[in-house]
């Protein structure tokens, strides 16, 4: 028990007390049922966006440490531009400007294919595609993915650069640069960056609440709709905040547990 931090004990007690209160109060029971409808959407949006952002972030992070100047400059440009744009602005841009722009480009390609007689059926489909075909949930997932891939790229860059340069001596054993990166550097770097990667997932889970402004029915959106119809703003956002705290604190505890279980060695550094 001595290893359990005081803040966690206090949070658990307050959380259990509030949960008991919600379950015994008629108004709070209704609010909890209404807001909880968005839990699945919140988790789904966060998981999908983060999984894709991890892939993009790793690719961009590798570009950031590339010795090829053009690749390095492109990756750096992407990171600096995307990190400088507020997430809400990025959401608006991708949803209302990026998606229509993408569809316009697809229509142009489809029209060209149709006029040239190249795969006519596919050309017709692309030429007739409408922006309404792209669901708002897909758009916000893409926006979160783009926004967080820049931050994850910097985490991967830092992890890779933290590995001693001597580790690349594996190339003297006949490995190419990609092979050494894949089999020697990346496994060590990923172990080192797991904690900050987990912290960014928690941050994305919280930032996913921004998708509510696009009409995506997550926890925050459900709370906004319910409070607007009942004027129970205080009670509703108590529940919304409670649900987010349960998810984020649970994730933080899981990450700390996994971090303690992780091997602490780092190859040739010992």
Pair of tokens at residue 40:
């699945």
pLDDT in tens, 19-48: 999 999 999 999 999 999 999 999 999 999
Domains of the chain by residue range: 9-22+30-259
CA dist 128 → 29, 104, 270 (Å): 47, 10, 61
* Residue 128 DSSP class: T
Contact 187, 167 (CB under 8 A): no
Task: Return the closest-CA partner of residue 61 out of 39, 38, 35, 79.
Answer: 79
d(CA 211, CA 19): 26
Position 84 pLDDT exceeds 50: yes
What would the two tokens of residue 196 be?
């900050």
Which pTM was predicted?
A: 0.85
- What confidence tens digit (pLDDT) does each residue in 214-253 have? 999 999 999 999 999 999 999 999 999 999 999 999 999 9
Length of the chain: 270
Is 174's pLDDT higher than 90?
no
What are the tokens at 186?
A: 């990346």
Fold of 9-22+30-259: MetI-like fold (1.10.3720)
Show the CA angle centred on residue 142, arms to residues 178 and 42, nearest 5°.
115
Q: At what angle do helices 136-161 and 186-207 cross, to 10 degrees?
A: 140
Q: Which of 242, 197, 244 is nearest to 218 (CA)?
A: 244
pLDDT for residue 188 is more than 50: yes
In whole angstroms, give the CA distance from residue 31 to residue 14. 19
Check residue 268 and give its pLDDT.
40
Q: What are the tokens at 115? A: 């006029």
Helices (H), the chain: 6-24, 26-35, 39-64, 69-83, 87-93, 99-116, 120-127, 136-161, 177-180, 186-207, 219-230, 233-261
Q: What is the C-alpha end-to-end distance of the chain, expressed in Å?
A: 34
């Amino acid at each position: 028990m001595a290893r359990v931090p005081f803040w966690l004990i206090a949070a658990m007690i307050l959380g259990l007390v509030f949960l008991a209160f919600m379950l015994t109060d008629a108004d709070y029971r209704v609010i909890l049922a209404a807001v909880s409808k968005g839990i699945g959407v919140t988790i789904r949006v966060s998981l999908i966006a983060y999984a894709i952002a991890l892939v993009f972030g790793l690719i961009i992070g590798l570009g950031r440490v590339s010795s090829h100047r053009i690749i390095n400059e492109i990756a750096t440009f992407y990171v600096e531009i995307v990190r400088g744009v507020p997430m809400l602005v990025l959401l608006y841009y991708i949803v209302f400007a990026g998606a229509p722009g993408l569809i316009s480009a697809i229509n142009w390609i489809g029209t060209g294919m149709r006029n040239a007689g190249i795969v006519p059926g596919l050309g017709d489909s692309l030429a007739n595609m409408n922006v309404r075909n792209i669901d708002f949930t897909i758009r916000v997932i893409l926006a979160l993915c783009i926004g967080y891939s820049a931050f994850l790229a910097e985490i991967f860059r830092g992890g890779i650069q933290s590995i001693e340069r001597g580790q690349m001596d594996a190339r003297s054993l006949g490995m190419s640069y990609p092979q050494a990166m894949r089999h020697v550097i990346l496994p060590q770097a990923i172990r080192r960056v797991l904690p900050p990667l987990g912290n960014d997932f928690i941050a994305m889970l919280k930032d996913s609440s921004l998708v509510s402004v696009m009409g995506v029915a997550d926890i925050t959106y459900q709370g906004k709709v319910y409070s607007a119809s009942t004027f129970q703003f205080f009670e509703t956002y108590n529940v919304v905040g409670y649900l987010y705290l349960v998810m984020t604190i649970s994730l933080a505890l899981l990450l700390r547990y996994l971090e303690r279980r992780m091997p602490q060695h780092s190859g040739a550094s010992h």
